[in-house]
Structure 1
Amino acid sequence: MALYRFKSKAIRRSLRLLTALSAIALTVPAQAASWSIHYPRPINESDSRHEYPLTLLKLALSKTGVRYTLKPSERILLQGKSIRQLKENREINILWVMTDSQREKELLPIRIPIHKGLIGWRVFLINQDFAHKFTDINEIGDFSSLTVLQGAEWPDTKILQSNGFNVLTVSDFPEAFNRLELKQGDFFPRAVSEVMGELEARSISPDIVLEPSLVLHYPAAMYFFVNRSNPIMARLIETGLRRALEDGSFDNIFVTHHRKALLKVNVGERKVFTLENPLLPKETPLDDKALWFDPQRHVPESSVNAELTKD
């Protein structure tokens, strides 16, 4: 009996020690950890769409003081595959994509739109031989005779279809450009935040040009997403992004990266067609003006910085 009591006391002491050690571990600041962060490898090294999200992610992490390594996945991961791999916690532990209700169920969103909503302002890449098709468009119904190119697994496809557009889906990004070059689609809507980098890519055909007078708009947000089992990383990145918003460094990067596109595209001078987004989750922080930019305002070159940093 004495031996049993001794063992019981020893077990209780061990349990108390483990509990104490666990409590200490939980209080260790995030700065003591070293985070290994893997994101989807782009299609090729000249794919400039990764530059801005990676710059913003590095900024957010720097605001928290954590040690980290940031590496692309071993293989190229297209958007649909990236989402599935992140959901299953394989190969990558972060990605950035446009949000919708299904993605927010499967993954954990960090609800700060990294492009301030510019992802939902869509200008058109077209084959220059089709330019005449866009000169007499005055209302949504005028698009009914045109074919839109979009990725099969992109939220934009469902948004456009729900608004009555005839959408031809493609398997990946390069295929959309190939079909545009071959005149197998009339236009490829691209976000203001993306289009200039794509137009300047060396691989693009000179026949593909920017349509000069029209723009589609629907409320949309591109977020960083992590696996749902990784709320600590989500909180870490959100904390860094909010600190960057507060000290102005988020807007500085936003202005630096998008300035050329905003001036070149000049959305304020275009005819705007507003669409509904039935996929937008109800949790989207549309009322937080600090998170969004309205590119419909006319922004002269001399005052881009002042206008973008208002509110």
Structure 2
Amino acid sequence: MDIGMTRRFINAMLFCSLAHLNSSAFALTDQSEKVGENVTDANLPHTVLRLPNVHPGRDAVYAYARQLLSEALAVTEDKYGSFELVVSQEESAQERQLRSLEHNMLDVTWSVASTERESHFLPIRIPIMAGLFGKRVLFIREGDQRFRSVESLQDLKAFRAVMGYDWPDTKVFKANDVSVLETTYRASFRIVSEGFADMFPRSVMEIREEFEDKALSRGLIIEDSLLISYDNPIFYFVASDNTLLAERIAKGLLILIENGRFHTLLSQQPGYEQSMKLMKNRKLVELTNPLVSDQSREALSKFLHEHAISHP
């Protein structure tokens, strides 16, 4: 991507990411916010930011999201001050993590976007997983051959999924008339292996790591013929009134996109290349996602378009 295209993309993403704020105040310029030029003003504040704990089976994704956030904060230290990241001692589900933002128990988390979540919390609309959490393959029972005959969404409706109580993905599958048994993350694996549900849809970014954890995946295999796809961006979220932090994270991420570091971090994830391979030669089953806001859908579309041009 040439410099002019890069600048237009950065400004477009900045507008999408902070459309709920006065975006014109945050436009990047060629003279400022260059990586390597940040010298922190001693008078700027030191900020301690509290993060959620990691769920088992998601260590690689968690490590990436934390490192990306840390680097986004680091390249903005000259404008906003130094920072420190502190991780919560307890694991918690997505909805509890988000509620903890409003209750001043966490400062930043990352989550699949939905209109409901975006109405209560402040999203930074830059899809940190490049939409890959909307690319799903299935955990099924060992020896189950039934999914090889699935050719369409209509065929998929004959099966029962298991998913988390508070996941937007659960609502997406239900909105597409796929039967879903709701339970906890840990219980989902056992429910499929014991035959109470037929499939546990997982992101291509996380399923390999989960499969390697035999305490979770015992009795399960990764189904090899289907790819379920829907718009499903993951954003950083902060409390609804923490506009300064939202602004800082957005600016930092866009600097990392511009200098190529964002793509480097994304592609260096252990699961990234595996994800690319996992999506090949599969039958595509597309779902509609009524939970994604127009702003988030636009942000995902812009990001994926430019990502494809820059990194074919």
Shorter-chain TM-score: what band? Answer: 0.7 to 0.9
Does residue 198 (structure 1) correspond to residue 234 (structure 2)? The answer is: no
Deviation at 1:100, TM superposition (A): 0.5
SS in 1 for 2:216: coil
SS in 1 for 2:198: coil
> 1:46, 1:201 within 8 Å by CA — same for their partners in 2?
no
Question: Pairwise mapping of residues 160-175 of structure 1 onto structure 2 (< 5 A)?
Answer: 160-170=173-183, 172-175=184-187
Root-mean-square deviation (CA, aligned residues, Å) is 2.4
> 1:118, 1:293 within 8 Å by CA — same for their partners in 2?
no
Farther off after superposition, 204-213 or 150-159: 204-213
Q: Match for residue 148 of structure 2?
A: 135
Question: Pairwise mapping of residues 209-288 of structure 1 onto structure 2 (< 5 A)?
Answer: 209-257=221-269, 258-265=271-278, 267-284=279-296, 286=298
Farther off after superposition, 29-38 or 238-247: 29-38
Q: Gaps spanning 5+ residues in structure 1: where? A: 1-27, 295-305
Equivalent-residue separation in structure 2 for 1:30 and 1:73 (angstroms): 28
Q: Match for residue 113 of structure 2?
A: 99
Q: Match for residue 67 of structure 1?
A: 82
Distance 1:30 1:215, change over 3 A: farther
Equivalent-residue separation in structure 2 for 1:145 and 1:49 (angstroms): 31
Does residue 114 (structure 1) correspond to residue 128 (structure 2)? The answer is: yes
> 2:127, 2:299 within 8 Å by CA — same for their partners in 1?
no
Letter in 1 for 2:239: N
Percent identity over the alignment?
A: 27
Equivalent-residue separation in structure 2 for 1:284 and 1:199 (angstroms): 30
Distance 1:289 1:46, change over 3 A: closer
Letter in 2 for 1:310: H
Distance 1:44 1:215, change over 3 A: closer
Equivalent-residue separation in structure 1 for 2:230 and 2:41 (angstroms): 40
Q: Which has the higher contact order (CA 8 A, sep 6+)?
A: 2
Distance 1:126 1:249, change over 3 A: same
Letter in 1 for 2:134: G
- Normalised by the length of structure 1, the TM-score is 0.80
1:27-65 deviation digits (Å, cap 9, x = unpaired): x96982211111111245974431121121112112112
Equivalent-residue separation in structure 2 for 1:103 and 1:30 (angstroms): 36
Deviation at 1:182, TM superposition (A): 1.7
Farther off after superposition, 197-206 or 176-185: 197-206
> 2:210, 2:217 within 8 Å by CA — same for their partners in 1?
no
Distance 1:253 1:233, change over 3 A: same
1:72-102 deviation digits (Å, cap 9, x = unpaired): 113222212112221232x211110000001
Distance 1:95 1:246, change over 3 A: same
Equivalent-residue separation in structure 1 for 2:58 and 2:293 (angstroms): 33
Q: Match for residue 55 of structure 1?
A: 67
Query: How many residue pairs get matched?
Result: 269
Equivalent-residue separation in structure 2 for 1:179 and 1:274 (angstroms): 25
Q: Gaps spanning 5+ residues in structure 2: where? A: 1-39
Equivalent-residue separation in structure 2 for 1:175 and 1:108 (angstroms): 30
> 2:131, 2:300 within 8 Å by CA — same for their partners in 1?
no
Equivalent-residue separation in structure 2 for 1:123 and 1:147 (angstroms): 14
